[in-house]
Structure 1
């Protein structure tokens, strides 16, 4: 890779690791208050701005240079985490101030996510883009695994406040790394319409891509199912598979599968990427079915490895296809709808899992979700644009 691509990879890795530190740090900091409601409030304060601001952030990503937006978003998150660290170190936890800083972090995530996608598309061009997205996914997966462990070690050894200060510093390093990227200037397209018109135009552009809408809806189903699995899987492991150690084995197998799938995405001879995306996404049903049926730990671990391997394989392929098929001037707005569905669906699954299990038991929701994931993602193959060879796909001009 070129120095520019290495810089991109480093910056996104710093940001991903910092992001992975936050939930565990907040959880350990708020455990001392003894109130699950306080933790829920602070975490919700981050989620709500993300959901509300993403469509606006998509417009911003298309109107302004991606490098500058990502720089600003990382600096906002750095300031929020440095403020959180100072607040935690100053004395007793004050929930209103902590929630406000969490909301600021959520706003930074909302504005940074669409622009990061456009930044990758601008820097990584040509046939090598899939390999770049593959490496970014591997780095993100490693950060997701290492982040909670590092946050826990820091919070328990030196305190949650210092862990938040480190998180803020990592976001600042990401901002400096990505802010210095040399990105080709976009071609001038004449006067731009108003902000509201661009917001509406983003949805209009999204509706012009049937392959995109079909996949986004299907991905929403598996994000919802993932929320169910993350809540009910540990319960099933403890009750029926031998205890907490069984869940650790299954979860680690899933992590390994995710990393292997992401690594393989840039190396397999993929001719029809969206067909691979649909089949790989449907493979997540294996994880749900194995745990729903309470299959032995080795079988459940293998199923979770394959299911998460499909997710790891799918993600770089999907990112590359969005960046290739969607016009550059609409990528932020179109991509923001994909992120919005992802951010909203998984928490919904987390919230719905316990009430569903109380009504039907833990197995039924997972087995039903397995069927829905398989059907929703394989049904995407019915869309002609999904099956089309990339060289013969229709051309989408930006309007």
Structure 2
């Protein structure tokens, strides 16, 4: 079942990675308008952010396999609809935006259910290893997705590219058929009451709230860096090839970190995730100087190595420290902050740099990233191992 789980989530990750580039190329070919492109991308993001908490509630009320199955099938239908519309004629921006919004809504329901699905299928002792492998495969999918989408569009056309993406989600949905998970814990009959209960559970875990705040800050910093970094690289570090070297060093580092995470003798995973996130301050400072390209690439390598270690450790810490019956709702708060913070960083980077120059926003972001994430080390529960009690409660509830 673990292999089926990993295969399905990998195919879904590849299909998901195809969507942004596919939408971008489809809109550019349709109208060539940056305003239209922004409208379509916002149409996908807005329902995702609004519906994530609702998706977390459903992930705890219903079997996660069923939630993800429906989410994959909806995304399949939306991508096939876009593909057919492109093959049959020239779709309007409004049509593409509506189908992008449907896709974003499906993501909001599917994402919070992944962690409960993992806890229902994978035994506790194997979760770190499985989370790490899924992280590696997901990272490779994110790297390959834009190139695949561009290649499919140039080779087959935009319509066929979306049809292939839809097929990917259909295959992902099929892999869920053989997964057997533990019965769900019964929750309240009201969605609002379930949401409030999930928020109370999140507030009960200080380590979770403080860590998520820190993660949101580094996502904000990532938005700044991914906007200003390429500009600085092109203007001051040697051109487009400089940014390519820096970006690829980070990609390699993240994969290495994810592979290494289950093999490292880490006794305090929450402290390690805090340190891993704080390392993102390094490239922010390096770009702010700007340092020579070798230093910037090394700083970005270190930061992404830390994030690679962070991701499977954080997923496993959540699965271990949050009761299984509340994992979808609590995890949705984490996803909501992460998904919202990075676009905010992308949006404000250029105006801030225009007003103050590149150095001030980057240095400020570096200080906030380091401070917000290292502050979590003040908590006693972070300096110690994640409590085992949550696992026991979750197991008792499942029985």
Q: Given the two structures, how large is their TM-score scaled by the length of structure 2?
A: 0.96
Matched, 1:11 2:14: no
Q: Is the 8 A contact 1:257 1:312 kept in 2?
A: yes
Quote the residue 1:222 is aligned against.
Answer: 218
Matched, 1:47 2:45: yes
Q: Is the 8 A contact 2:322 2:390 kept in 1?
A: no
Counterpart of 2:378 (choices 382, 388, 391) is 382
Distance 1:314 1:389 in 2: 15
Counterpart of 1:349 (choices 326, 345, 349) is 345
Specify whether residues 396 and 128 from structure 1 end up closer, same or farther in structure 2 by C-alpha distance, changes over 3 A only.
closer
Matched, 1:139 2:137: yes
Distance 2:181 2:192 in 1: 27
Distance 1:6 1:218 in 2: 33
Quote the residue 1:34 is aligned against.
Answer: 32
Quote the residue 1:20 is aligned against.
Answer: 17
Q: Secondary structure at the match of 2:263?
A: coil
Q: Is the 8 A contact 1:326 1:396 kept in 2?
A: no
Quote the residue 1:367 is aligned against.
Answer: 363
CA-CA distance at 1:248 after TM superposition: 0.3
Quote the residue 1:120 is aligned against.
Answer: 118
Quote the residue 2:88 is aligned against.
Answer: 90
Distance 1:395 1:18 in 2: 33
Deviates more, 1:311-320 or 1:357-366: 357-366
Specify whether residues 9 and 397 from structure 1 end up closer, same or farther in structure 2 by C-alpha distance, changes over 3 A only.
closer
CA-CA distance at 1:203 after TM superposition: 0.9
Question: Structure 2: any 5+ residue segments left out of the alignment?
Answer: none
Deviates more, 1:175-184 or 1:201-210: 175-184
Counterpart of 1:198 (choices 194, 206, 216) is 194
Specify whether residues 275 and 29 from structure 1 end up closer, same or farther in structure 2 by C-alpha distance, changes over 3 A only.
same
For residues 167-206 of structure 1, the aligned pairs below 5 Å read 167-186=165-184, 189=186, 192-206=188-202
CA-CA distance at 1:363 after TM superposition: 2.1
Distance 1:116 1:142 in 2: 18
CA-CA distance at 1:366 after TM superposition: 1.2
Structure 1 segments, 4+ long, off by >4 Å, are 391-399
CA-CA distance at 1:275 after TM superposition: 0.6
CA-CA distance at 1:185 after TM superposition: 2.5
Q: CA RMSD in A?
A: 1.6
For residues 62-101 of structure 1, the aligned pairs below 5 Å read 62-101=60-99
Q: Secondary structure at the match of 1:231?
A: helix
Equivalenced residues, count: 394
Q: Is the 8 A contact 2:232 2:287 kept in 1?
A: yes
Q: Is the 8 A contact 1:74 1:175 kept in 2?
A: yes
Q: Is the 8 A contact 1:77 1:108 kept in 2?
A: yes
Quote the residue 1:314 is aligned against.
Answer: 310
Distance 1:389 1:120 in 2: 21
Deviates more, 1:244-253 or 1:376-385: 376-385
Counterpart of 2:162 (choices 161, 164, 181) is 164
Question: Structure 1: any 5+ residue segments left out of the alignment?
Answer: none
Q: Secondary structure at the match of 1:266?
A: helix
CA-to-aligned-CA distance 1:339-362 (integer Å, 9 cap, x gap): 000010000000000100101112
Distance 1:356 1:387 in 2: 36
